[in-house]
């Protein structure tokens, strides 16, 4: 099984081999295929202390990306996630993720019976030295990111299972005995969210600045709890949410998501504005992030907003969905998002 790993040292993707060590597979060794053992990165399970850490670590592994061949160039289209080369020197080439922003198609040539692609691919880099900017690449620089599979690699899974059972044991042993039985089974997911949210805040800088992200085009009747649950599930960050009442003539409602700290804000805004995915309501209505506001430091995020809205919990059980680039649902949601933005622009 060929996999690649996003290095903890330079954040670039590399082809790697995985080895586990220790009696229970509690140590993971990442060996870089084209480098000697002195470049190995070794991870001790005991350093992964929370589910959040563990998931962040797991997300650094994926199936190896595949080099796009010249004849496959029509498959590389706008909005597609690719892994592409950045080279500062001829002998130093590293791979980072980018989204195809535009393709300038050129006629292919045939050279010695081989098709040669001369198209230009303008990439928006998601990380690495060009992160956040646009640059042009050619087909030879571009690899196709493979669809995500359930299991990255059996040894990574084994390592994470060992870590997970240790974290679970630690958490259970730290919870006061009276706390556990009070979470009713039927409300477990909501109860647990709240439970983890309180625990999370202890880990974070309590004095951090708070930010509000305004999201428009939410489905009428959506509960703030649905928003909070979804964000916590997807990003493992604590947040608070509230929904503004709307006029009967307005087809949607506006929501506010509040997070503490610049890191959480960056994580949330990247997630909401990611060009390769959209968040939709059950009817297909896509979320549109419109504003980010920094709160005065004297204002503290409180649960009050949510409590006031808590009656809404019973009104609707509104499941949100993340749709990925390439699917029909994404295509439809993307079009709706564009229409929404056009309409907003006209109203201003
Ligand atoms: Zn081409």
Which pLDDT does position 172 carry in this prediction? 61
pLDDT in tens, 334-344: 999 999 988 88
CA of 106 to the centre of ligand 1 (A): 6
pLDDT, tens only, 213-234? 889 999 888 888 788 888 887 8
Q: What confidence tens digit (pLDDT) does each residue in 48-68 have?
A: 888 888 888 888 999 999 999
CA 68 – ligand 1 centroid, Å: 10
- Ligand 1 centroid to residue 121 C-alpha, Å: 9
Domains of the chain: 3-63+148-162 (2.40.50), 67-144 (2.30.30.140), 190-347 (no CATH)
Backbone angles phi, psi at 109, to 5 degrees: -105, 160
The phi and psi torsions of 108 (rounded to 5 degrees) equal -75, 150
How many angstroms does the Cα of residue 75 sit away from the middle of ligand 1? 9
What percent of the chain has a predicted confidence (pLDDT) above 70? 82
Which is more confident, 89 or 67? 67
- The listed range with the strongest mean pLDDT (127-136, 196-205, 321-330) is 127-136
Whether residue 265 contacts residue 213, with contact meaning beta carbons closer than 8 Å, is answered with: yes
pLDDT at site 177: 41
Exposure string for 248-272, b = 16+ CB within 10 A, e = fewer: eeeebbbbbbbbbbeebbebbbebb
Task: Look at residue 108 in the predicted model and tell me its pLDDT.
Answer: 95
Q: How far is the CA of 40 from the centre of ligand 1 (A)?
A: 37
164 alpha carbon to ligand 1 midpoint, in Å? Answer: 46
Ligand 1 centroid, distance to 80 Cα (angstroms): 15
Task: Determine the pLDDT at residue 101.
Answer: 93
Which pLDDT band holds residue 275 (cuts at 50, 70, 90)? confident
Residues with CB under 5 Å of ion ligand 1 are 73, 117, 119
pTM given for the model: 0.53
Secondary structure of residue 309 in the 3-state scheme: coil
DSSP state of 223: -
Higher pLDDT, 102 or 176: 102
pLDDT band of residue 18 (cuts 50, 70, 90) is: very high
């Amino acid at each position: 099984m060929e996999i690649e790993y996003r290095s903890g040292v330079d954040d670039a993707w590399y082809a790697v081999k995985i080895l586990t060590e220790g009696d229970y597979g509690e140590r993971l060794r990442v060996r870089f295929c084209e480098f000697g053992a002195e470049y190995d990165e070794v991870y001790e399970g005991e350093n992964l202390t929370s589910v959040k850490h563990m998931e962040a670590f797991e997300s650094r592994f994926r199936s190896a990306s595949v080099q796009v061949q010249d004849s496959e160039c029509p498959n590389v289209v706008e909005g597609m996630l690719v892994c592409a080369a950045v080279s500062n020197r001829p002998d130093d080439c590293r791979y980072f993720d980018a989204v195809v922003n535009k393709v300038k198609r050129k006629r292919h040539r045939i050279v010695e019976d081989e098709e040669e692609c001369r198209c230009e691919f303008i990439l928006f880099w998601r990380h690495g030295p060009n992160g956040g900017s646009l640059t042009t690449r050619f087909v030879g620089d571009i690899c196709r990111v493979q669809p995500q599979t359930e299991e990255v690699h059996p040894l990574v899974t084994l390592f994470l299972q060992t870590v997970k059972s240790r974290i679970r044991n630690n958490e259970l042993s730290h919870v006061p005995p009276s706390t556990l039985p009070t979470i009713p089974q039927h409300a477990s997911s909501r109860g647990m969210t709240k439970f983890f949210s309180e625990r999370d805040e202890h880990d974070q800088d309590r004095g951090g600045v708070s930010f509000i992200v305004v999201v428009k085009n939410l489905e009428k009747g959506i509960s703030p709890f649905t928003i909070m649950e979804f964000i916590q599930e997807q990003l493992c960050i604590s947040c608070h949410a509230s929904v503004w009442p709307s006029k009967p003539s307005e087809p949607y409602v506006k929501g506010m998501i509040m997070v503490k700290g610049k890191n959480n804000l960056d994580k949330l805004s990247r997630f909401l504005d990611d060009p390769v995915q959209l968040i939709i309501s059950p009817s297909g209505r896509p979320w549109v992030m419109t504003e980010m506001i920094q709160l005065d430091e004297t204002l503290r995020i409180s649960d009050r907003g949510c409590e006031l809205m808590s009656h809404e919990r019973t009104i609707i059980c509104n499941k949100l969905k993340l749709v990925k680039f390439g699917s029909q649902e994404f295509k439809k949601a993307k079009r709706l998002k564009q229409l929404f933005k056009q309409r907003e622009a006209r109203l201003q």
